[in-house]
Amino acid sequence: MNCKNNGFSGSAFFKLFWIAANAHNEYVYGKALENITAHDPNVAAYLDTCQEQWSRHMFDPAVCCDHNTTNFVESFNACTKPYRDMPVFSLLEAIRKWCMERVGARFDMAIDMEDGQLTEYAKKEVDERTGESRFCYATACGGGEFEVRDAHVNFPIRLSTRSCGCGKWQISGIPCKHALRVIYDQRLNPIDFVSPFFKSAAYKLTYADHIHPMSDPTQWPNFSLPTIQPPVIKRQAGRPAKKRKRGPNEPRKGKRNSNVKCGKCREFGHNSRTCKNGGPSTGPSTSAAAGASTSQGGPRGRKRANTTT
């Protein structure tokens, strides 16, 4: 799926798109899709033809992951940025050392973790959602079911199935603020309701092995293999790009205002040259009127008096 290549772009569209993409339940997704249809019906028709699971409410709850971006790949690219100009062998050696240091630190961290302890990410999410749960109110319905009021919206909670009406608990594997309100009211431990994927046992399995150190290449055994020559590369014109391509929902670095406002229709996402709404133009006409009034009304400053000698 590539909306930009199919002609759908602009900050107004991307704002509506990411509301639908981040929706954890079908109701929020449906409302967001209605706004997208009102913005451009062709966009909604294109999104219906996409086979990818691009909205969170369609993710498999068994995976317990609600990430719908590739930011971890971008983070890896940012870490390898200083080594991109090196030869291939030096580049791979730099990446190996970087991975060895990173995995080694987590290997030592996994050894020191206690049984049932949460990972740093899960603990941070629980702490943030705990603060948000203070503004929720829970009502016991019996049979392990509860109704939580958040502002003017009610959400059903079932502790036995670990489900919430907002859908965030099922998709992420970490109790949402509505579930945490019920858990704290029942004097229960929130750690018991977090998915095992975010606990020490799974963390230790993930980092059970680490990258072992290697000797210098001069001490490697000789197998009498032919030397592999580097490929012939034709240098492209221009300076090689080093900055990564930012996502549509990420702010552009170095720009004070990333929202472009049209001077004709006063909408965000495009300028007056690419405007398709056909709104009245106010910029040139205003400047022309100002110029006409200046020319008819006389000079702005005081006219110098003519002196005769």
Mean pLDDT of the region 164-192: 94
Q: What residue has token string 């409302």?
A: 31
What's 247's DSSP letter?
Answer: P
- Average pLDDT, rounded, for the chain: 82
Tokens matching residue 287 = 């400047």
Contact 270, 262 (CB under 8 A): yes
Residue predicted with more confidence, 242 or 192: 192
Residue 288 reports pLDDT greater than 50: no
Confidence (pLDDT) at 283: 46
Q: For 261-286, write each residue's pLDDT tens digit.
A: 888 888 877 888 888 876 654 444 44
CA distance 272 to 261: 8
- Mean pLDDT across the stretch 204-233? 85
Determine contact, residues 91/201, Cβ cutoff 8 Å: no
HEC string of 42-66 equals HHHHHHHCCCCCCCHHHCCCCCCCC
And the tokens for 149?
């009021």
